Amino acid sequence: MHVPGNETPSKAEWRTRILRARADLPPEDHAREAAALAAAAAALPAETVCAYLPFGTEPGRISLVDALAATGARVLLPVIPDTPGPLDWAEYTGPDTLTPGRLRGVLEPSGPRLGPATVASAQVLLIPALAVDREGNRLGRGAGYYDRTLTAAADVARVAVVRATEVVDRLPAEPHDVAMTAALTPLGLVQLPAAAVAW
């Protein structure tokens, strides 16, 4: 994504531009991209995946999580904690077991809470993002839940889920940011420099 007239846009400027572009995406294009994302997710090699349920204008739909489960993988979904901190996790066992979470529009699994450290048991962590750059820097919404979670996921493949146009050349980054190892887009998996090995 090129930002004309501004070579160093701020995180706030990036968020505004990307959220506007997502809101302007026609529903049929969103559905087409969601189906492609689900197919790409099903190709990820993992026995356990920490994923999430896209909502609103985020890329993907529940079909992404169902596609992962259909491969036989154990799928864990985030549970937002009552106080600021890393995400908790619970196993996804089907759409009928989802309940409204603390944030409006976000569904969470109703099963037993497994604890924040469970993320380290996964081979792949799918992470919502507004954009990711070629060096693996991720732009989130700014709430910090995933920033706090990533410290326990050092040995897990960290995959930002974005539209193809949201893989950009450069994003603002902070020294404490944890790099993504790949980006999952409707066009497939994009390897990033932080990946220790190619999939």
| Burial of 183 per CB tally in 10 Å (0-12, 13-18, 19+) | buried
Is the CB of residue 166 less than 8 Å from the CB of residue 190?
A: no
Show me where the domains of the chain are located. 11-191
- Residue 15 clears pLDDT 60, i.e. is over it: yes
- The reported pLDDT for the residue numbered 137 is 94
Q: Which of 114, 123, 126 minimizes the C-alpha distance to 160?
A: 126
CATH topology of domain 11-191: Rossmann fold (3.40.50)
- The reported pLDDT for the residue numbered 81 is 85
Sorted by sequence, the CB contacts under 8 Å of residue 98 that are 6+ apart come out as 53, 107, 108, 109, 110
Sorted by sequence, the CB contacts under 8 Å of residue 79 that are 6+ apart come out as 87, 88, 89, 90, 101, 108, 109, 113
Q: Is the pTM of this model over 0.75?
A: yes
Mean pLDDT of all residues in 129-151: 89
pLDDT digits (tens, 9 = 90+) for 80-127: 888 778 999 999 999 999 988 777 668 899 999 999 999 999 999 999
- Residue 34 clears pLDDT 70, i.e. is over it: yes
Separation CA 49–CA 123 (nearest Å): 6
Separation CA 56–CA 54 (nearest Å): 7
**Mean model confidence pLDDT for the chain:** 90
Is the CB of residue 68 less than 8 Å from the CB of residue 44?
A: yes
Mean pLDDT of all residues in 53-62: 94
Q: Which of 69-73, 139-143, 187-191 has the lowest mean pLDDT?
A: 139-143
Separation CA 140–CA 114 (nearest Å): 24
